[in-house]
Structure 1
Amino acid sequence: MSFTVALFALAIEAVAGYPDWLFARIGHPVTWIGALIAALDKRLNLERDSFAMRRAKGGAALIALAVIALVAGMLIEALASALPYGWAILGLLSSSLIAQKSLNDHVAAVARALSLSLDDGRREVGKIVGRDVTLLDGPGVARAAIESLAENFSDGVVAPALFLAVFGLPGALLYKAVNTADSMIGHKSERHLAFGWAAARCDDLLNLVPARVTAGLIVAAAWAIGAPAREAYETARRDAGKHASPNAGWPEAAMAGALGLALGGPRAYHGMEVEGATLGTGRRDATQADIASALKIYRCAAAGLWLIVLAAALFSVR
């Protein structure tokens, strides 16, 4: 049944996304998880503790977060299964964990804003990336949007959909909890280098398969729309390992090859310059047209994900 639930969740989210009025009233599962992570960080991540103690406490916090996510998912599944059309209720609830529509809308907004002015483009791209956008030029804004699209296709769409399809709502909630923890405390700042170690390593582990599936979907989508699929494949194989993350480089490199761009490279976070690897051997001067092409590939790749889940759902009921 979980494959059917995942397919229904993908369909609901593609049409409706997560309504703004609902977010204003009750927030979003990610904001609830984020509030819990922030509370654990404040209570447990103490500067007076040793590095080893902070790492141990970070691991304990992650275990607590995982247990809460799993228990919540199992309780919701049990309640829904006792109701008529429980699978549809689960699909509706699970759609909040997938971000295919919102990702498309946010990246498309960057392209529209960039057509108005550089400042507008910087403002919109600043909503979807963590880097310092104040010094980005037009091509830098476009590259940042495309990089975010590729990486978040894996983290925000493919991974939660696959975990939902294979492991049900408990698995999807567990993935979302770990991924949110990684984004909040998994970076290498002085405060979180020790405390966020477990979150970062666990997120790396959970994304090993989804990141590579995402790269494959991008390659397939490039082939389907007549983009250079072979270059996307070769770039992913050659350059993915250059990325600081063991996973993010796969979808980003595949997208770079499909578009004939060179993505990545140096970037600034919180006033600090980070020497990121360059993925791809193409142009650096990305444009609005490249964002539009990236979105076309993304939509086609998302359709490929639907087909995979649909095939699995049909096979599971045989």
Structure 2
Amino acid sequence: MLITENADIILLIALALDSLFGEPTWLWNRFPHPVVLMGRLIAATEKRFNKRRTGRFQKHMLSIIGLMFWIVVAVGIGLTVTFAWQFTVFSGFVILEIIIVAVLIAGRSLYEHVDAVRIALEFKCLREARKAVSAIVGRNSESLDKSAVCRASIESAAENFSDGIVAPALWYLIAGLPGILVYKMINTADSMIGYRTPRYKIFGCSAARLDDVLNLVPARLTALFLIITALLGDFSGFNAFRSVWLDAKKHRSLNAGWPEAAMAGALGLALAGPREYGNEKITDAWMNTDGTQKANSEDILSALNLIFRANCMMVLSIIILIFSSRTS
């Protein structure tokens, strides 16, 4: 079995552990984080396969081989842990699975990184705010004004709610530990080599396309959570729906536009738009064109509040799933 028995309950426990403890610095100062280990494997594979003199077709084939290798490693580790506790009496493997799932869900980490931007702005320190936002976005942050810093952090919060919480949780429910490990492996690869630069344009293409596929459902589910939460709370659910309907598909990313558009509409902001990555200027559509570009630290707090409530809605959905599956 790919899916562990009582995977839904394990997921609830993992979400609770992530909320309580997040990413303990004392632990990851002593041991490498699983995502860091994934990054090292991806970097080593890229260095070995992505040679400058390699032909275009050969580079495409090597990118697929590298991708398959990462998937095999992730599935192998996931199956080993899953089968170990299903076919032995040692309950320690159950605890290990809970810990792995908790570590691979980045809920509290998302909140802390985004809130660091808000805190810096509350103390009127734009330099520190730019430094904090540079840790969560890839765009140039040195020249961003206060509003742009706020928008960048809110966009990151919306996208990472999908990538860091909803998607890992969904893939764990669908395919167990192998599913969440494969998702994190591919998502990490996309963040490292999924760029249209001369070095990665061909070799990173396979990882980027598979990451798009793996996030198709989670991104849209995230938008749905945000819209429903906005409708039930102190936000504009109608504008969130309208923004997703009109603007989500205009985003240069196949998936990022969905949570960003929902967030933009709910808060009455215009998000995304033109920005710079390195020396490259990106001309992107605005999400919620009727919204204001003048975001502030209060908007960051509102975004985090909306995500917290949407996360609670996801947890409630899992609880309903547990009860419905046990009583049917």
TM-score range, shorter chain: over 0.9
Q: CA deviation at 1:168?
A: 0.8
Question: In the alignment, which residue of structure 2 is the partner of 1:157?
Answer: 165
Q: CA deviation at 1:87?
A: 4.0
Q: CA deviation at 1:205?
A: 0.4
**2:86 counterpart of 1:113:** no
**2:45 counterpart of 1:36:** no
Deviates more, 1:4-13 or 1:245-254: 4-13
What's the RMSD between the two structures over aligned residues?
1.2
Q: Work out whether residues 55 and 195 of structure 1, in 8 Å CA contact, stay in contact via their aligned partners in 2.
A: yes
Q: CA deviation at 1:88?
A: 4.3
Q: Work out whether residues 81 and 93 of structure 2, in 8 Å CA contact, stay in contact via their aligned partners in 1.
A: no
Match of 2:103 among 66, 86, 96: 96
Question: In the alignment, which residue of structure 2 is the partner of 1:228?
Answer: 236
Q: Work out whether residues 59 and 203 of structure 2, in 8 Å CA contact, stay in contact via their aligned partners in 1.
A: yes
SS in 1 for 2:281: strand
SS in 1 for 2:48: helix
SS in 1 for 2:292: coil
Match of 2:305 among 282, 286, 296: 296
Q: CA deviation at 1:86?
A: 5.0
What per-residue deviation string (whole Å, max 9, x for no partner) do you get for residues 67-122 of structure 1?
10001001011223332375444222210000000101111110001122111110
Question: In the alignment, which residue of structure 1 is the partner of 2:24?
Answer: 19
SS in 2 for 1:284: coil
Structure 2 stretches lacking a partner, 5+ long = 1-5
Figure out how many residues of one structure are paired with residues of the other and give that number: 318
**2:195 counterpart of 1:195:** no
Q: Work out whether residues 243 and 287 of structure 2, in 8 Å CA contact, stay in contact via their aligned partners in 1.
A: yes
Q: Distance in 2 between matches of 1:4 and 1:245?
A: 33
Equivalent position amino acid for 2:229 in 1: A
Q: Work out whether residues 268 and 291 of structure 2, in 8 Å CA contact, stay in contact via their aligned partners in 1.
A: yes
Q: Work out whether residues 10 and 98 of structure 1, in 8 Å CA contact, stay in contact via their aligned partners in 2.
A: yes
Question: In the alignment, which residue of structure 2 is the partner of 1:68?
Answer: 73
Q: Work out whether residues 3 and 166 of structure 1, in 8 Å CA contact, stay in contact via their aligned partners in 2.
A: no
Question: In the alignment, which residue of structure 2 is the partner of 1:266?
Answer: 274
**2:209 counterpart of 1:204:** no
Q: Work out whether residues 8 and 88 of structure 1, in 8 Å CA contact, stay in contact via their aligned partners in 2.
A: no
What TM-score does the superposition give when structure 1 sets the normalisation length? 0.97
What TM-score does the superposition give when structure 2 sets the normalisation length? 0.94
Equivalent position amino acid for 1:179 in 2: N
SS in 2 for 1:227: coil
**2:321 counterpart of 1:312:** yes
SS in 1 for 2:30: helix
Q: Distance in 2 between matches of 1:93 and 1:299?
A: 22
Q: Work out whether residues 159 and 210 of structure 1, in 8 Å CA contact, stay in contact via their aligned partners in 2.
A: yes
Q: Distance in 2 between matches of 1:4 and 1:220?
A: 24
SS in 1 for 2:253: coil
Equivalent position amino acid for 2:101 in 1: S
